[in-house]
Amino acid sequence: MEKILSFESLGLSSKSLEAIKAKGFEIPTPIQSEVIPLLLDGRTNIVAQSKTGTGKTAAFALPLIEQIHESTREERRKVQALILTPTRELAVQVSEELSSIRGPHQVSVFPIYGGQSFDKQIKKIKQGLDIIVGTPGRVIDLINRGILKLEGVRSLILDEADEMLNMGFLEQVEEILQHTDPSRQMLLFSATMPPRILQLIKKYMGEYKMVGKSSKDLTSDLTVQIYFEVKAYDRTEVLCRIIDVEDEFYGLVFCRTKIEANDLATALQNRGYDAEALHGDISQQQREIILKKFRNRVLTILVATDVAARGIDVSDLTHVINYSLPQNPEAYIHRIGRTGRAGKQGKAITFVTPSEYQRLNFIKRMAKAPLSKGPIPRREDVLLAQKKRIIEGISKHLADEDLKVFADLAKKLQEKNKECTPDLLLAATLKSAYSEQLLKYGSGGGSGVGGRFDKFATTEAHVEREESAGVDDKGTCRLFVALGKKDGLTKRDLITNIKSQVKIETSRIREIEIYDTYSFITVSFKEAEMILDAYKRLSKGRARPLIEHASNKKDRK
């Protein structure tokens, strides 16, 4: 089908065009160009293969609103459209999008999902709703209570059908479909088309039109897809380098388990990054707080599991990081589909350990993903990027009107240090403001530059590794030990104990302080993570690990 380049040519009414203009939409996306005319005819069933972030909500919202607005008074006494989503977050997002795009049309929309008050939902349904956006479980509950009647539904939309399959909702979806009129119009959106989804289509949709991209095209052309070969214990350091080398980082970091997500978020917070974890143990209230902070960019890094990330629709992500390799090609497609949107290029970076290459190649082949091996940022690369940001940041203030206060301070500083040159004074000022940021990767000029990854060539064609050096010899971490003098602990005992669990040189354990009931040590970031991992495993069944981050304890030194 030829792409249509204006909303006016899609057959939408003037009121809808006004609403589109108010939203700031200029030209339809490919999926909108294909879906809107088909939905407007009210008869064609549609299967749309399209990933999140392609404008699919507006593709079905605009025709739905027009059809309902034009319906008779008798028809509007019943629910006319039902939109099923896999998660409550997506239900709320879709409902809000419908409400924002209806413009002058008098159309009522409401989300129903588990965790929300039944009484509130029942009251809304009895008052009369045109469009319900709901999760399968709560929709079934309301049907079984005799509250929700679907015989008047003329449009049924399944959003992210493959995610409903992954979450085990497809049987509930089939039950809901059986409560609707078979003559209703149906639209199914899915990023992938596994056999179970195809069976559902065949059973309930009859004749339909297939639109959108085929599976081989589902990984966005606007997403640069690369992978880094890393050791499992080096992933945090590599992630930090990726974050630090970029001019802007606003991304999702995917972990396999909630424990891994918590540990990584904590490690990032300890290094000063604005990060939070999102997983299945997070309460709904806390989840909404975290997501609000992330959408408002109070947080710039969200560490999430696949299950917890379902339903998150955040625009303008610069990066998706597969900290843990996805389990299957479908998960890979869903993960990276969250970047490279709205004409903006994004990056999808996948960490792979040597033992995971077979699974990576399977994902690459099945997802038709143009994955290429990339060079891990070297310390000097990060250092140059940080210096550039510092220079640009300071240069922006040269035209500020309130510089007089600081100019007076600069003058006093020069008067107090007359023997110093302006260059030396400026260097001291920069050190005072940025020493922690710069010294993390070495001060430049070759010192402090090296490490396991710093021998990577700048092109994919030539990659060498140096196995001897550590990953991060500059950044340090303070650790708390839950033993002290009263336990008979000595510095020698502590070092011996740690070395029995982790391969580490004695000289790398520094600033050892033994108090009556607790102790402290300082090690590099990399070694801290190795020690914490070892003692976490060793402390299974204990109330707390023997060694923890000192940031969570009171360091009385």
246-257 pLDDT per residue, tens: 888 999 999 999
pTM value surpassing 0.75: no
Contact 530/502 with Cβ under 8 angstroms? yes
Region 305-315 average pLDDT: 74
Tell me if 28 sits within 8 A of 55, measured CB to CB. Answer: yes
- What are 185's strand-pairing partners? 155
Average pLDDT of the residues in 333-352: 78
From CA 164, how far away is CA 114, in angstroms rounded? 15
Question: Interhelix angle for 525-538 vs 235-245, to 10°?
Answer: 140
Domains defined along the chain, listed by start: 7-217 (3.40.50.300), 223-378 (3.40.50.300), 387-439 (no CATH), 476-552 (3.30.70.330)
* Euclidean distance between CA atoms 446 and 456, whole angstroms: 16
Residues with Cβ within 8 Å of 130's Cβ and at least 6 positions away in sequence, in order, are 68, 76, 79, 80, 81, 107, 108, 109
On the question of pLDDT at 173 being above 50, the answer is yes
- Rounded CA-CA distance 113/91 in Å is 8
Instruction: Classify strands 131-134 and 209-212 as parallel, antiparallel or unpaired.
Output: unpaired
Computed over every residue of the chain, the mean pLDDT equals: 81
Cβ-Cβ contacts under 8 Å for 538 (sequence gap 6 or more): 501, 545, 546
DSSP string of 12-31, one letter each residue: --HHHHHHHHHHT--S--HH
Helices (H), 205-297: 235-245, 258-270, 284-295
Distance of CA 179 to the CA centre of its chain: 36
Q: Other CB atoms closer than 10 Å to residue 194's CB: what's the count?
A: 14
Scan for tokens 């990339």, then name that residue: 374
Does residue 470 have a pLDDT over 60? no
Paired strand residues for 549: 479
Per-residue pLDDT at 220 = 53
547 and 531 Cβ atoms separated by less than 8 Å: yes
Average pLDDT over residues 503-511: 84
Say what the pLDDT of residue 251 is: 93
* Identity at 44, one-letter amino acid code: T
Q: What percent of the chain has pLDDT over 90?
A: 21
pLDDT at 418: 82
The pLDDT confidence band at residue 212, using thresholds 50, 70 and 90, is: confident
| Rounded Cα gap, residues 123 and 479, in angstroms | 55
